[in-house]
Amino acid sequence: MNKAQLVEAIADKVGGRQQAADAVDAVLDAVVRAVVAGERVSVTGFGSFEKVDRPARYARNPQTGERVRVKKTSVPRFRAGQGFKDLVSGSKKLPKNDVAVKKAPKGSLSGGSSTRTTAKAAAKKATAKKATAKKASARKTAVAGTAKRAAKKTSAAKKTATKKTSAAKKSAAKKSSTAKKATAKKTAPAKKATAKKAPARKVASRTTTAKKTTARNK
pLDDT per residue as tens digits for the range 41-96: 999 989 999 999 999 999 999 999 999 999 999 999 999 999 999 999 999 888 88
Q: Does residue 59 lie within any of the structural domains?
A: no
CB neighbour list of residue 129: distance below 8 Å, 6 or more residues apart: none
CB neighbour list of residue 208: distance below 8 Å, 6 or more residues apart: none
Q: Does residue 192 lie within any of the structural domains?
A: no
pTM over 0.85: no
DSSP 65: -
CATH number for the domain including 103? 4.10.520.10
Q: What would the DSSP string read from start to end of 99-141?
A: -SSPPPPTT-STTSS-HHHHHHHHHHHHHHHHHHHHHHHHHHH
Q: Does residue 49 lie within any of the structural domains?
A: yes
Q: Does residue 76 lie within any of the structural domains?
A: yes
Contact 48/129 with Cβ under 8 angstroms?
no
DSSP 62: T
Domain that holds residue 21: 3-54+71-126
Task: Compute the distance between CA of residue 48 and CA of residue 70 in angstroms, rounded to an integer.
Answer: 27
130 pLDDT band, cuts 50/70/90, is low
Length of the chain measured in residues: 218
Q: Does residue 36 lie within any of the structural domains?
A: yes
* Three-class DSSP category at 207: helix
Q: What amino acid is encoded at 161 in this protein?
A: A
Q: Is 32 exposed, middle or buried (0-12, 13-18, 19+ CB in 10 A)?
A: middle
Q: Does residue 38 lie within any of the structural domains?
A: yes
Model confidence over 102-129: pLDDT tens digits?
A: 765 555 444 444 444 555 555 566 666 6
Helix (H) or strand (E) holding 75: strand 73-80
Instruction: Give how many domains the chain has, as a whole number.
Output: 1
